[in-house]
Structure 1
Amino acid sequence: MSSTVTASWEFKLHRKRRIKEALIVILTVITLSTLLIHRFPSSSNAEDEEKPAEFFSLTAASQAPQPQPLFPAEDENAQIGTSSRRKIQHYSDELVRQTQANNDAMRIEIRHKKRKLERARKIKELDGLNFYKLMLSRRSHLVESCHEYLDVEKKTSLQAANFYVIQEEKLIWCPVYKAASSTWMQNILYIAGHNQQMVSEIRSKYPQQPNEQGRVVAPEVKKSFLQRFEKKGNVNKLLIVRHPFHRLVSGFRDKLERCHGPNGCEDLNFDWYYKIYGHRIVKSYRKKALKKFPIEYFDEGNNFGSPVPLGDNARSEKLPIFWEFVQFLIDSPVEDYDEHWKPQHLLCSVCHFSFNYILHFENLQQEQKEFLKTIGKENISEFIQNPLNSGPTTEDLVSKYFSTLDKDDILKLYNIYKLDFIYFQYHFKN
């Protein structure tokens, strides 16, 4: 089905390209015809009548028109001057350039559509066997990459406190914050055997603390216990990852770009992330930001520096803008990062722990469905939430935030999250 759709779509693009090329040819012919008319003007009937009969009895050789150059030599009798020839040549070159640019754009669009259709086909055809192969491929890539960066990973260690272990279900999960972590804090309650009423009671007890919800069924364990339990047979070790820059923008928007607390922006004293990070970031980088951006950039009409509207009383000029946040990250040690923007490979010690299920947030709905089948929990699929339904950070949205950064800033960010890109097979487009 996908190949038929692709062929039909490519045929339409091919037809559009041929129509454009035909129009260009017609335009060129009209232009040349106009030039030839000016070069060889037709004689009037009166002039023909005045010519003697001998004039019309020339030999065939003399009657044959002599070939004339399209652009006559530069002399005082030439009807088309140098400037006209240059203009015509310019228009001709421009037509060639536009045609080439259109062809290149169409080829790029075709490749993009092919890749999109191929991804859709793979997602649709993700069954048990393909899921197993996909997990094996991701696991093998991670092992090879860790070996390649062994010198770097020697400086890190297993952070057991970040792991959630459900012993009865032989499940170990390390949450990557801003990669469906809050959703899966609830999901593991169902996996542990809790029903909807029990889950609702736990959520009511810890309404603003998803971590504590998960700890009800997966208490914190020591490093030695985690290492022993990992080596047992048939243990499912789960990791959910996300594109590093998408996750970064999501973390900033959720924790620092908008006001939190009971009184919104009227009283930021109850906003934990503002007190710990936001206030410090603005104090350190607002003067530099005012030199880079016009003062109007921070006005209410411009969302107080946010690339997108956030709603009434959702933001204040006291909160940092994305550019200031990025400068803070560049100047801070990675080890001191908050869990919502700390690199994923550090959060979950991926080179010190053998995860056998690495799911991608971007295709989580399908992949978590197959994961639940694998661990024998497909019966709870109706309770499992899909975070993508709540409006994920899209590539267009991320581009709006990154458009406020210089190229050097983006490259510095990439170097901070480079191993996330490499380990989890995400691509970096500058």
Structure 2
Amino acid sequence: MFPRVPRLLRLLIFTCLYMYCLLLLHTVRDAREAVSTKNKGLKGEFEARAAHVKTECALHPPPLSKMEIHARDATRVSPNLARYYSSLHLKAALKNVLYLPRRNLTWCLVAKVASTSMSRALLEIEKPRHPRTQQPIQVVLRNTFRPVELNKVNQTIGPSIKFLFVRHPFQRLVSAYRNKLENSYRLEDGEYFYKTYGRNIVQKFGRRSVEGGGREGGRRETEERKDPEVVYKREPTFPEYVEYLLHTDPTDYDEHWKPIAFQCHVCRFHYDYIIKYENFKGEIEYLLEILQKVGSLPANFKLEWENQGGTDDKTAAKYLDQISKDKRWKLYDKYRHDFLYFGSPPTLTKSMCGQPEQQVVYRVPYPRPPGELRAQYLPLPCDLNL
């Protein structure tokens, strides 16, 4: 027999248990309300982003592609020829747009914006036993999901759930330079990017020339460089890389630094979810939860975010500090559609500007030729000193 507990003590124990249960209940309820409020906020944010892109596409449509120009000109000669050029344009537009028929999903694959992580995760659920290969995982994914037939785009991609990841244009182009061009010996595809882009950039925009070209090839400097303190390297410097960007049509850029607006054709395909790289973790968790609820992704789908944190705002600002203010404006103009379509760049902290740490947004005029007035203003990080 257990000893009889005094009534007062029993009341005290029951009261404590009751209060604990109430506290637990309120904690769970508050947590659910917080999640619900956060989700409602994200839902509204995604809807606002999609609506913003549509508005900006109407106000500032992207330039016509070469095939679109040919199609426009061909309408005066032959409707069949015009349709042919239009089909070539649509085929090129679908290059980075991956449609997953079994899951009713469409994802625009953009290099340097979590593309490796998402490609690997999607490949695991579609072909869990895919053979190992030396090809980049993005190439394997593209080969797995062939582009849809041109005459079925409206029936396939149109009603599907469409999403893409975006990133601050300056941060992305700096990341591409550091990852693909800065050191050709560091990565497996370094030699490819050196032979395809790096060597040509140096020969055309650098005050030096390179002989040999291979990893073991000879090299020599034929002209005196502006800064004798800089250690010679065969790869292009960041200012030379910027010169290449400024003298090249953005539609001809490599996919690693090509504007996202031109890769994903956001004015042709209206994306439901535009995930910002700066808030990737919270926003992708919400999107995956939605896709799992509607059955587009399995419950065990996992996205392991790779290569995160390599190039942040502060790192990008250090590289951009190597070029003049005028060239930053010109570079900004090259990526103006990304700035317009995808909203404000990420804010930096005043501590990066030599001031007490505090979130701040500096507003600067949108670059246009002198003499042309424009009321468009966009927030930019103070470190870019535009």
The TM-score by the shorter chain falls in which range?
0.5 to 0.7
Partner of 2:206: 286
Q: CA deviation at 1:223?
A: 3.0
Q: Which runs of 5+ in 1 are unaligned?
A: 1-122, 305-316
The reply on whether 1:256 has 2:176 as its aligned counterpart is no
Check whether the contact 1:281–1:325 (CA below 8 A) recurs between aligned residues: yes
Q: Does the 8 Å contact 2:46/2:274 carry over to 1?
A: yes
SS for the counterpart of 1:380 is coil
Q: Which runs of structure 2 are paired with 1:74-153 in the superposition (5 Å)?
A: 127-150=38-61, 152=63
Q: Please name the residue that 1:174 is paired with.
A: 108
From 305, 314, 333, the counterpart of 1:396: 314
SS in 1 for 2:267: coil
Are 1:183 and 2:147 counterparts? no
* Contiguous gaps of at least 5 residues in structure 2: 1-33, 69-88, 210-222, 346-379
Q: 1:295 corresponds to which letter in structure 2?
A: P
Is 1:419 paired with 2:352? no
C-alpha separation in 1, matches of 2:39 and 2:186: 45
Name the amino acid aligned to 2:196: I
Change (3 A) 1:386 1:126: farther
Aligned twin of 1:48: none
Q: Is the 8 A contact 2:96 2:110 kept in 1?
A: no
In structure 2, what is the Cα distance between the partners aligned to 1:348 and 1:165?
13
CA contact (8 A) 1:261 1:271 kept: no
Aligned partners of 1:136, 1:401: CA distance in 2, in Å? 34
Alignment of 1:327-366 (within 5 A): 327-366=243-282
Q: In structure 2, what residue type is equivalent to 1:324? A: E
Matched position secondary structure for 1:239:
strand
Q: Report the Cα offset of residue 225 of structure 1.
A: 2.4
C-alpha contact 1:372 1:378 (8 A) present in aligned 2? no
Which structure has the highest helix share of the two?
1
Which of 219, 222, 234 is residue 318 of structure 1 equivalent to?
Answer: 234
Matches of 1:166 and 1:140, distance apart in 2: 24
* Aligned partners of 1:127 and 1:370 also within 8 Å: no
Q: Does 1:374 align with 2:290?
A: yes
Compute the displacement of 1:261 (Å).
Answer: 7.5
The CA RMSD over aligned residues, in Å, is 2.8
Distance in 2 (alpha carbons) for counterparts of 1:175 and 1:154: 20
Residues 170-191 of structure 1, C-alpha deviations (whole Å, 9 max, x = no match): 0001111111111111122245
Looking at structure 2, the residues matched to 153 and 360 of structure 1 have their Cα atoms a distance apart, in angstroms, of 26
Q: Would the alpha carbon gap of residues 205 and 190 (structure 1) be closer, same or farther in structure 2, given more than 3 Å must change?
A: closer
**Alignment check: 8 A CA contact 2:169 2:338 kept:** yes
SS at 2:197 equivalent = helix
Distance in 2 of aligned mates of 1:239 and 1:418: 18
1:273 paired with 2:273, answer no
Alpha-carbon separation, structure 2, partners of 1:124 and 1:251 = 35
Aligned to 1:386: 305
Q: Distance in 2 between matches of 1:145 and 1:126?
A: 28
| Number of residue pairs aligned between Structure 1 and Structure 2 | 275
Report the secondary structure of 1:237's partner residue: strand
3-state SS of paired residue (2:56) = helix
Partners of 2:120 and 2:314 lie apart in 1 by 29
Does structure 2 retain, via aligned residues, the 8 Å contact 1:146–1:153?
Answer: no
SS at match of 1:296: coil
Q: Which residue of 1 aligns with 2:215?
A: none
> Shift of residue 354 of structure 1?
1.1
Provide the C-alpha distance between the structure 1 equivalents of 2:143 and 2:205, rounded to a whole number of angstroms.
41
Q: What are the superposed Cα offsets for residues 171-229 of structure 1, whole Å, 9 maximum, x if unpaired?
A: 0011111111111111222454x5xxx2xx43x52343212331354222233323321
Cα gap change, 1:151/1:322 in structure 2, threshold over 3 Å: closer, same or farther? Answer: closer
Equivalences for residues 154-165 of structure 1 within 5 A: 158=90, 159-165=93-99
1:411 positional shift: 0.5
1:71 aligns with none
Aligned residue identity for 1:175: L
Identity, % of aligned pairs? Answer: 28
How many Å separate the matches in 1 of 2:175 and 2:186? 19
8 Å CA contact retained: 1:247, 1:341: yes
**More displaced, 276-285 or 369-378?**
369-378
Q: TM-score, normalised by structure 1?
A: 0.59
Q: Is the 8 A contact 2:112 2:176 kept in 1?
A: yes
In structure 1, give the amino acid aligned to 2:263: L
Superimposed CA distance per residue, residues 38-70 of structure 1 (whole angstroms, 9 cap, x where no aligned partner): xxxxxxxxxxxxxxxxxxxxxxxxxxxxxxxxx
Between the aligned partners of 1:322 and 1:146, the Cα distance in structure 2 is: 31
**Are the aligned partners of 1:164 and 1:220 in contact in 2 as well (CA < 8 Å)?**
yes
CA 1:226 to 1:187, structure 2 compared with 1: closer, same or farther past 3 Å?
farther
Tell me which amino acid in the other structure corresponds to 2:132: K
Once residues 196 and 146 of structure 2 are traced to their aligned partners in structure 1, the CA distance between those partners, rounded to angstroms, is 27
